Amino acid sequence: MSQHDAAIEPSWTWDESRWRGAVEKVRAGRSLRPARWKNGARVCVALSFDSDHESSTLRDGSVSPGKLSQGEYGARVSVPRILEMLRRHGIRATFFVPAVVALLHPDEQRRVVDEGHELAMHGWIHEMTSELSPAVERDLMHRAHETLAKIGGRPPVGVRVPSWDFSPTTLALIRELQLTYDSSLMADDEPYELVEDGAATGIVELPVEWIKDDAPYFGMNRASTTRPYTPPSGVLEIFKAEFDGAAAEGGLFLLTMHPHIIGHRSRIWLLAELIEHIKRAGNAWFATHEEVARYCREQAAPAR
């Protein structure tokens, strides 16, 4: 039984405990936005790269060399291009990597770690988590954790659920694995504490949004009508506005990108422009997700 099956009975027939229980399963608790960022920085910038590579094709059970080659570009061209740019700017970032991708490209992950970046969890094969039974979700999550620990040299402390498809049992697994943070949910602009069934968990949420993600703007599906319609300059404008808003509020600017999407010549340009814009604005703390989560947790008042 998948976790979707619970929805087969029409929602308008549910009693209050059912719809209220669904909403309260995983909720945003207290804000963990610190009074000030590290070293007095005005704004925190957390760049993340989801190295999906071939897994977005394998996930669907496809073995098409044509489709797989689009993901291969991410490993072959984009990650080296991104790492070079980050090195030039002295910026550290977080790479969320499905375990199968880590097994396909272990040297890439070791280079990411050697260059000071964070390696974090992103599923086994980019599976759609909410389609899994709780037992399968648990097995894949544990295998992904072990795989990244082995390849990265230390256990990962954070997770981004593939496609942000967080299931009703995901948070329990995050707690079981004693992770520090999740970065898959969308209830705020700023870091917050996750609450499960009304109880604070101590797990830090570093929230995402499709607005701050390259994929929705540049996604393309040959077989459907999905086409990119926003030019890179338009995406840059949106990302800059998100950063400027975060800076004005003294908050967090967290951006999700995908090597096989952002690494192309016409798009890596927008990331370079964005970094220049952030640096010109001044006083930004560029940090890995792990550093942000730990800092927010340290700064927060002890939980009641």
**Binding of residue 50 to Zn ion (CB under 5 A):** yes
Rounded Cα distance between 263 and 85, Å, is 11
**Is 155 exposed, middle or buried, given 0-12, 13-18 or 19+ CB atoms closer than 10 A?**
middle
Segment contacting Zn ion by CB under 5 A, of 28-36, 44-52, 81-89, 281-289: 44-52
Q: Near Zn ion by CB under 5 A, which window of 45-53, 64-72, 243-251, 274-282?
A: 45-53
Closest-CA residue to 106 (of 51, 62, 60): 51
Exposed/middle/buried for residue 150 (C-beta within 10 Å: 0-12, 13-18, 19+):
middle
3-state secondary structure of 20: helix
Which of 27, 25, 303 is CA-nearest to residue 187? 27
Closest distance of CB 278 from Zn ion, Å: 24
Output 128 or 136, the one with its CB closest to Zn ion. Answer: 128
Confirm or reject binding of residue 127 to Zn ion (CB under 5 A): no
User: Which lies closer to Zn ion via its Cβ, residue 181 or residue 285?
Assistant: 181
CB of 163 to Zn ion, least distance (A): 6
What is the token pair recorded at 151? 């390849």
Site for Zn ion in 51-80 (CB under 5 A): 52
Interface with Zn ion in residues 169-188 (CB under 5 A): none
Helix axes of 79-89 and 265-281: crossing angle, nearest 10 degrees? 20
Distance CA 128, CA 161 (A): 9
Given the complex with Zn ion, which of 50 and 189 has the nearer CB atom? Answer: 50
| Residue 17 structure tokens | 């405990």
214 binds Zn ion (CB under 5 A): no
Closest approach, Cβ 11 to Zn ion, in A, equals: 29
Which span sits near Zn ion by CB under 5 A: 47-55, 100-108, 131-139, 213-221?
A: 47-55
25/126 with CB nearer Zn ion: 126
With beta carbons less than 8 A apart as the criterion, state whether 208 and 164 touch: yes
Tell me whether residue 50 or residue 190 sits nearer to Zn ion (CB atom): 50
Q: Which residues here bind Zn ion, judged by CB under 5 A?
A: 50, 52
